[in-house]
Amino acid sequence: MKFKTTPYHSDLLKDQERLASFYNAILEYDSDNELAYDLGCGSGVLSYFLSPYFEEIIALEVSLKAAQCARQNLSDFQNVEVVNSDVLSYDFTKKADLIVCEMMDTALIDEEQIPVLRHAKKFLKQNGTIIPKGIINTAELVYMERDNVHWDEDGAKYEEFSNPKVYSEFDFLDDIDPEFEGIISIEAKMEGVVNGLKITTFVLLNDDIVCGPTPMLNPPLLIPLDERFVKSNEFINVKLKYIMGKGIESIKTEYV
């Protein structure tokens, strides 16, 4: 099937690893299959994947152009309703078996995944499921050329000074505080000067499928630190703070 898309969603459709991960998670989902919500449906590709397995799918998309594309793409499916609406202002009236919410971003800092799910979960059945299931965040010490927060794309250059350290992981069915604050203790693997953290997010689609960063899903985020000389096997403690959904401007770091 050929999809009508916006330029941004065209790039999303080209990300085969991302699409395959969500498709396989939907295939493995097992339920009575009455109602699914597709939150932030974009061009409608995930609703397209859901359509054979649910009696009803309500697909919400805040962008008018993207919603128009989704309506056209899904016009042959009588069980799919595309609604041009912000999830936070949509009048939910039914409880769903499944919520699909693919509005992912590195550590969920620059995307409204957490506030959206906190609102929408009130309309999930008691035994309902969310795809993706959750995330795992890791941090690494790096020396980077740029002195501002930026994503690992468009020629970003850096050197890694540690192995990845898991600092946060959670299930979207849990009540998640969007204000993250923690001290991360990271062991340097060699000596030299570090001046940043590399944050990487891995998405848990379900208990069996983990999707790492892909071209359009969670590019690692590079965050400045004050320059510091580290020795091999030295543990460096960094306090990291941010508010999920409030953007990269909310990020704060310091050595402790």
Q: Are residues 74 and 142 in the same domain?
A: no
pLDDT digits (tens, 9 = 90+) for 24-82: 999 999 777 899 999 999 999 999 999 999 999 999 999 999 999 999 999 999 999 99
Range of the domain at 11: 7-102
Spatial contact of 106 and 151, defined as CB atoms under 8 Å apart:
yes
Do the domain assignments include residue 91? yes
The residue among 102, 126, 160 that closes a domain is 102
Q: Are residues 181 and 240 in the same domain?
A: yes
Predicted local distance difference test score (pLDDT) of residue 153: 82
Total domain count for the chain? Answer: 2
Predicted local distance difference test score (pLDDT) of residue 13: 82
Spatial contact of 144 and 223, defined as CB atoms under 8 Å apart:
no
Do the domain assignments include residue 154? yes
pLDDT digits (tens, 9 = 90+) for 172-198: 999 999 999 999 999 999 999 999 999
Predicted local distance difference test score (pLDDT) of residue 185: 98
Predicted local distance difference test score (pLDDT) of residue 154: 73
Do the domain assignments include residue 2? no
Query: Nearest-CA neighbor of 22 among 131, 121, 107?
Result: 131
CA dihedral 52, 13, 103, 203 (to 10 degrees): 90
Q: How confident is the model at residue 216 (pLDDT cuts 50, 70, 90)?
A: confident
142: domain CATH number is 2.70.160.11
Task: Determine how many CB atoms are found less than 10 A away from the CB of residue 140.
Answer: 22
The residue among 102, 119, 150 that closes a domain is 102
Do the domain assignments include residue 164? yes
| Residues contacting residue 154 through CB under 8 Å, at least 6 positions apart | none
Q: Are residues 144 and 219 in the same domain?
A: yes
- What the block records as the tokens of 14 is 């080209």
| Residues contacting residue 214 through CB under 8 Å, at least 6 positions apart | 15, 17, 18
% the chain with pLDDT above 70: 100
Do the domain assignments include residue 228? yes
Phi-psi region of 82 (alpha: psi -120 to 50; beta: other; left: phi over 0): beta
For the residues 101-117, what does the mean pLDDT come to? 91
Q: Are residues 94 and 140 in the same domain?
A: no
73: domain CATH number is 3.40.50.150
Predicted local distance difference test score (pLDDT) of residue 46: 97
Q: Are residues 142 and 250 in the same domain?
A: yes
Give the C-alpha separation, 49 to 53, whole Å. 8
Do the domain assignments include residue 29? yes
Do the domain assignments include residue 117? no
Q: Are residues 165 and 76 in the same domain?
A: no
Give the C-alpha separation, 201 to 213, whole Å. 7
What does pLDDT average to over the chain?
Answer: 94
- What the block records as the tokens of 191 is 């000596």
Q: Are residues 174 and 245 in the same domain?
A: yes
Phi-psi region of 43 (alpha: psi -120 to 50; beta: other; left: phi over 0): alpha
Q: Are residues 187 and 93 in the same domain?
A: no
Q: Are residues 94 and 19 in the same domain?
A: yes
Q: How confident is the model at residue 5 (pLDDT cuts 50, 70, 90)?
A: confident
Do the domain assignments include residue 113? no
The position carrying tokens 């979207």 is: 172
Task: Give 99's DSSP letter.
Answer: E
Q: Are residues 11 and 76 in the same domain?
A: yes
